[in-house]
Structure 1
Amino acid sequence: MTTIILRPLLENDWDSVSKIYAEGISTGLATFETEIPNWKQWDSKYINSCRIVATKRNKALGFAVLSQVSKREVYKGVAEVSVYVAKKFRGRNIGEALLKQLIKESEHNGFWTLQAGIFSKNLASINLHKKCGFRVVGIREKIGQLNGKWYDNHLLEKRNKNI
C-alpha cells in the first residue's frame, strides 16, 4: 500500500494541478471561475506559503491553497481556503488530509482566520470544512452568477485558537 504524501505545491505540479482545477470547474459547484489560468496568473493569486499538494506515486491527487481576502494590513492574517481533489480520488479523505495540513501550516505562518465561500449546493465541501473545525457564519444570497444563474454561498470560518 502506497502512502499519500502531502508536500509543498511547486510550479512543476501545475500541469496536474490545473487538470484537477479543471475538473472542479466542470462540476459547476466548486468555483465561479470558468477558465483555467496559466501558471503565472494562478501563482499571483495564491499566497506563496501554505500551498499543498497530495501525491501518490508522484501523481497529484488534490491540492489546497490560501488566497488573501484583502491587501489591507489589518487583514494580513485572514485568508480564503481552496481545496480541490481529483474526481477519481474523491471520497477517500484526501480533502480532509489536505485541509487539516493547510490549517496547521496557516497557523504556523501567523494566520488567525481562515474563511471559505462554498456554493450552498456543495454539501460535501461544507461538511468537510465543518469536520475540520469551520463554522457557518452566514449565507450570502445570490452572491454571484455562473452561466446566467445566481448562486448562494455559505460563508464558513475557522479561527486560530493559538492567537
Structure 2
Amino acid sequence: MEIKTITQDHFSEVAEIYRQGLATGIATFQNEVPSWEEWDRGHLAFCRIAVSENDKILGWAALTPASGRSVYAGVAEVSIYIAEEERGKGIGTLLLNELIGQSEANGIWTLQSGIFSENKGSIRLHEKCGFRQVGYRERIAKKNGIWKDTVFMERRSKIVGTD
C-alpha cells in the first residue's frame, strides 16, 4: 500500500468511494457526489491523501477549513472515506494518522470531526487516533427529513500551536 496525493486524475475513484459513503446514510449530510471543481474548492490544497494498492484507491482523506477567519487558520475539519470492500482492514487508521502528520507539517493545530452518532466505526477510528469527544449536537440538522445527532470530536496537536 502507498499513500499518494489526490489529484484530479484520481477523482473518479475518490468520488466512487464518497458515493459508497453516501449510500450508508451515516457518513455525511450531503446527498450528492460533488464535481471535481466543487470538491477542489471545498478542500485545503494540502492534506489530500489516498491509500492505494496496485493503482487502486482504497480510501481517502482531506481537510476543509473550519472557518474563513484568519484566527482559525490552524483548525480544519476531517473528511475520511474508505471503500466499502476495504473497511475494517486498518486503512482508516493509516489514513488518519498520515493526515495528522501532514496537517501538523502544514501548521494545523486542531483537527475536528462531526460524526453521526450511529457511525460507531468512525467514532472508534477517531478515538484510536487521539481524538476526543468534545460535544454532542442533538438534532443538529436533517438528513432526508430525519433529524440527526452528531458527535463532535477534536484532536489538538502536541507540537503545533503549543506556544
Partner deviation per Cα, 1:27-60 (whole Å, 9 max, x = no partner): 0000000011110011000001001011000000
> 1:31 matched to which residue of 2?
28
In structure 1, the residue matched to 2:158 is 161
In structure 1, the partner of 2:123 is 126
One-letter code aligned to 1:110: G
**d(CA) in 2 for partners of 1:71 and 1:147?**
28
Aligned twin of 1:148 = 145
Deviation at 1:98, TM superposition (A): 0.2
Structure 1 residue runs of 5 or longer lacking an equivalent are: none
- Of the three residues 17, 23, 26, the one matched with 1:20 is 17
Determine the structure 2 residue equivalent to 1:83: 80
- CA RMSD in angstroms comes to 0.5
The amino acid across from 2:89 in the alignment is R
Residue in 2 that maps onto 1:40:
37
Residue 7 of structure 1: how far off its partner (Å): 1.3
SS at match of 1:106: helix
Count of residue pairs the alignment pairs up: 160
User: Alignment partner of 1:133: what SS?
Assistant: coil
Distance 2:82 2:19 in 1: 11
Q: Residues of 1 paired with 2:4 and 2:10: CA distance? A: 11
- Tell me how far apart the structure 2 counterparts of residues 37 and 114 of structure 1 sit (CA, whole Å): 23
Q: Which runs of 5+ in 2 are unaligned?
A: none
Q: Does 1:70 align with 2:73?
A: no
The answer as to 2:111 corresponding to 1:114 is yes
TM-score, normalised via structure 1 length:
0.97
Q: Distance in 1 between matches of 2:155 and 2:116?
A: 17
| Distance in 2 of aligned mates of 1:13 and 1:43 | 12
Percent identical residues: 47
**What SS does structure 2 have at the residue aligned with 1:88?**
helix
Matched, 1:135 2:127: no
The SS at the match of 1:137 is strand
Q: What is the TM-score of this pair, normalised by structure 2? A: 0.97
Query: Shift of the alpha carbon at 1:144?
Result: 1.0
